[in-house]
Amino acid sequence: MSDRSHLIFAGKPFQFDAERDAEFEHLVKRYPTRESMILPALWLTQEQEGWVPAEAIAYIADRIGTFASMVYEAATFYTMYNLHPVGRNHICICRTLSCWLRGKQEIVDYLANEIGIRPGQISEDGRFSLEEVECLGHCGTAPVVQINGEFHENMDVEKLKQLLAGLR
């Protein structure tokens, strides 16, 4: 393994914590090439940090033995990876036609007016962030909202209010 001391994150070199390092070593044995570990390594990073900082992209590339641009390409292709900090409760709402036709914009407007966040923003208290994403694959039960990875279908403002009230 090469020296990664140049990969600085929050004043210290970025690296997986012990749990995720062990998981990485376990997973790498299951894949035909080390480059196949790009997506799992991004996911491990996001589990650890809550998002994927640039230093982690460089770390993953170094650890796998590939170019940072390949890791970055994967991280930017999939909406499940956050390349910037997010709130404790990260809300993703589908911006495609099915959700739009069934009231997605009313939900976005509610979040803007009542919580003070628009897509791409984090609430002042850090409790919520909002992101509009491409199709979440639940067109038949639109609009769909994903909060911290959990899908909520047939969403409307009243259901969202109840859901948000139960979050810390």
Tell me how far the alpha carbon of residue 52 is from its chain's centroid.
8
pLDDT of residue 7: 43
Distance between CA atoms of 38 and 151, rounded to whole angstroms? 25
Residue 93 β-bridge partners: 132, 145
Query: Nearest 5 degrees, angle CA 153-CA 104-CA 165?
Result: 60
Q: pLDDT tens across 107-135, in order? A: 999 999 999 999 999 999 999 999 999 88
**Percent of the chain clearing pLDDT 70 (strictly above):** 93
Q: What is the reported pLDDT for 134? A: 87
Q: pLDDT value at position 1?
A: 36
Q: Dihedral of the CA atoms 131, 135, 140, 142 (nearest 10)? A: 20
Listing DSSP states for 9-45 in one string gives ETTEE----HHHHHHHHHHHTTSSSGGGGHHHHHHHH
The token pair at 65 is 């033995």
Model confidence pTM above 0.75: yes
